């Protein structure tokens, strides 16, 4: 099995399983949906080698994909890689009854503390921090970068990511895929399915430059494993991830501190039920270490717009952690299964791009009118100058005829090159 195809399959498996266990999930089995099957099988080869426009073409008319179709989840995860914008950002991801006056008043009274400061305070008490992301919102990846850089002075040494490739080699081979990551300071295609998103590629670059040791721990399906239902699939994956991380912690020694970057519910350190115990809970049991778990996926302008507005975040300008009565507060699907809940300010448009990009330490480079195509579409990309031909761009923007020239985010203190794809 080629490593790329295997990690893509794991990426699609993760997308499907996360879809099944999100509150707004379609009531369909994603593995039985023909559109889901077609798009996922065709998307992986193109996306996995950086042919973004070919990947875009696979979706045809995205508006024709039903909002409640499992295939819509793939579109929502792919689309942000083209310019950083969340797909379907004008459509709330969930439908709820209006908040009662009592509940709205409770949310309005929640205390909001600056997120990084709150995280640093709590991270000083442990050697494991687990933070989640929504795979369809690259803003979360930018915040993980901020957390990683804030934790280095506390002695955090290892960056472990669910997204990093952890497959397709034997003990007899000289190097595992993660060894290649350790020898450079940029993300390459093949490092992981989600690493093809420029926001994730830039995150990996920054943590490597900051001196973190990268760790791959994803579950690799074994011969003979035949899970009979989604709960069994989840259990196999969560148990394997926890074992791999526990082994990495032991190998790193007692002074090592781990920042673990996961998707959605993997950060739940308390079980949902007997049938659903996620990685963080299993890792806590295996190691005896109480991790700091951070949830940034549940409460946003997309997932819980009424609660988000009641808290007052529509006017927010920086990420916060919410507190009630001096203790961390919790809202949403994962509720009290994690320690801290981060709430981000709403995404605004700045220079034709999401405004959170301006807070990633880069410079906005204004593209000229000559970059706007007369026909078709054009993808303008920026790469680190020292990166190889296998590199993932650290930013890119899709431009259509008639668009105002947008900005591209380029490194502040290092050389870069700009490349275009025409479709």
Residue 230, number of CB atoms within 10 A of its CB = 17
Model pTM? 0.92
Average of per-residue pLDDT across 168-179: 60
User: In whole angstroms, what is the distance from residue 183 CA to residue 208 CA?
Assistant: 10
Could you read off the pLDDT of 106-127 as tens digits, one per residue? 999 999 999 999 999 999 999 9
- pLDDT value of residue 276: 84
- pLDDT value of residue 19: 52
Angle between helices 34-47 and 70-78 (to 10 degrees): 20
Query: pLDDT tier at 94 (50, 70, 90 boundaries)?
Result: low
Could you read off the pLDDT of 318-370 as tens digits, one per residue? 999 999 999 999 998 887 899 999 999 999 999 999 999 999 999 999 999 99
Average of per-residue pLDDT across 389-407: 98
* Count of residues making up the chain: 423
Q: Helix or strand or coil: residue 357?
A: helix
64 vs 396: which has the higher pLDDT: 396
Residue 232, number of CB atoms within 10 A of its CB = 13
- pLDDT value of residue 14: 54
Could you read off the pLDDT of 264-293 as tens digits, one per residue? 999 999 888 777 899 999 999 999 999 999
The secondary structure of 53-90 as a DSSP string is HHHHHHTSSGGGS-TTSHHHHHHHHHGGGGTSPPTTTT
Average of per-residue pLDDT across 233-252: 95
User: In whole angstroms, what is the distance from residue 107 CA to residue 308 CA?
Assistant: 9
CB 33 within 8 A of CB 71: yes
Instruction: Find how far residue 282's CA is from the centre of its chain.
Output: 21
| CA dihedral of residues 42, 44, 47, 52 (deg, nearest 10) | 10
Query: pLDDT tier at 198 (50, 70, 90 boundaries)?
Result: very high
What the block records as the tokens of 228 is 């009979």
Could you read off the pLDDT of 215-233 as tens digits, one per residue? 999 998 877 777 778 888 8
Residue 278 to residues 23, 195, 216, 221, Cα–Cα distance (Å): 16, 23, 17, 17
Residue 278, number of CB atoms within 10 A of its CB = 28
- Tell me the percentage of the chain whose pLDDT exceeds 90: 75
User: In whole angstroms, what is the distance from residue 284 CA to residue 242 CA?
Assistant: 9
User: In whole angstroms, what is the distance from residue 95 CA to residue 232 CA?
Assistant: 29
Provide the phi-psi class of 212: left if phi over 0, else alpha when psi is between -120 and 50, else beta.
beta
- pLDDT value of residue 93: 61
Query: pLDDT tier at 195 (50, 70, 90 boundaries)?
Result: very high
- pLDDT value of residue 272: 80
What the block records as the tokens of 63 is 């508006």
- Tell me the percentage of the chain whose pLDDT exceeds 70: 89
CB 203 within 8 A of CB 404: no
CB 391 within 8 A of CB 384: yes
- pLDDT value of residue 7: 43
Pairing between strand 407-410 and 363-366?
Answer: antiparallel
- pLDDT value of residue 256: 99
- pLDDT value of residue 20: 47
- pLDDT value of residue 92: 63
User: In whole angstroms, what is the distance from residue 334 CA to residue 341 CA?
Assistant: 10
User: In whole angstroms, what is the distance from residue 338 CA to residue 325 CA?
Assistant: 17
């Amino acid at each position: 099995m080629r490593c790329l195809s295997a990690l893509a399959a794991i990426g699609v498996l993760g997308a499907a399983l996360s879809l099944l266990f999100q509150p707004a999930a379609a009531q369909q089995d994603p593995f039985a949906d023909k559109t889901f099957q077609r798009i996922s099988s065709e998307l992986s080869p193109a996306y996995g080698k950086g042919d973004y426009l070919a990947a875009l073409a696979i979706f045809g008319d995205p508006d024709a994909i039903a909002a409640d179709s499992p295939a819509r989840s793939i579109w929502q995860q792919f689309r942000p890689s083209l310019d950083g914008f969340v797909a379907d950002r004008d459509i709330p991801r969930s439908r709820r009854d209006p908040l009662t006056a009592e509940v709205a008043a409770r949310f309005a009274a929640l205390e909001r503390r600056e997120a990084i400061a709150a995280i640093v305070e709590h991270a000083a008490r442990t050697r494991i921090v687990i933070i989640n992301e929504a795979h369809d919102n690259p803003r979360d990846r930018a915040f993980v970068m901020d957390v990683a850089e804030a934790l280095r002075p506390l002695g955090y040494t290892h960056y472990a990511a669910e997204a990093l490739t952890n497959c397709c080699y034997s003990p007899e081979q000289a190097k595992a895929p993660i060894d290649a990551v350790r020898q450079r300071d940029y993300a390459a295609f093949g490092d992981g399915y989600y690493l093809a998103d420029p926001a994730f590629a830039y995150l990996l670059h920054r943590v490597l430059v900051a001196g973190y040791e990268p760790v791959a721990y994803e579950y690799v399906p074994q011969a003979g494993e035949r899970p009979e239902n989604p709960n069994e699939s989840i259990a196999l994956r969560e148990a394997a991830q926890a074992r791999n991380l526990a082994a990495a912690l032991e190998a790193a020694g007692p002074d090592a501190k781990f920042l673990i970057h996961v998707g959605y519910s993997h950060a739940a350190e308390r079980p949902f039920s007997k049938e659903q115990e996620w990685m963080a809970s299993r890792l806590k049991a295996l190691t005896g270490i109480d991790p700091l778990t951070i949830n940034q996926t549940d409460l946003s302008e997309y997932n819980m717009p009424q609660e988000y507005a009641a808290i007052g975040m529509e006017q927010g300008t920086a990420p916060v952690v919410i507190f009630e009565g001096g203790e961390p507060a919790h809202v949403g699907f994962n509720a009290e299964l994690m320690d801290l809940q981060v709430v981000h300010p709403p995404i605004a448009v700045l220079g034709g791009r999401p405004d959170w990009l301006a807070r990633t330490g880069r410079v906005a480079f204004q593209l000229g009118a000559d970059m706007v195509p007369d026909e078709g579409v054009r993808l303008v990309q920026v790469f680190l100058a020292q990166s190889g031909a296998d590199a993932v761009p650290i930013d890119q923007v899709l431009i259509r005829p008639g668009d105002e020239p947008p900005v591209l985010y380029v490194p502040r203190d290092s050389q870069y090159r700009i490349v275009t794809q025409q479709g």
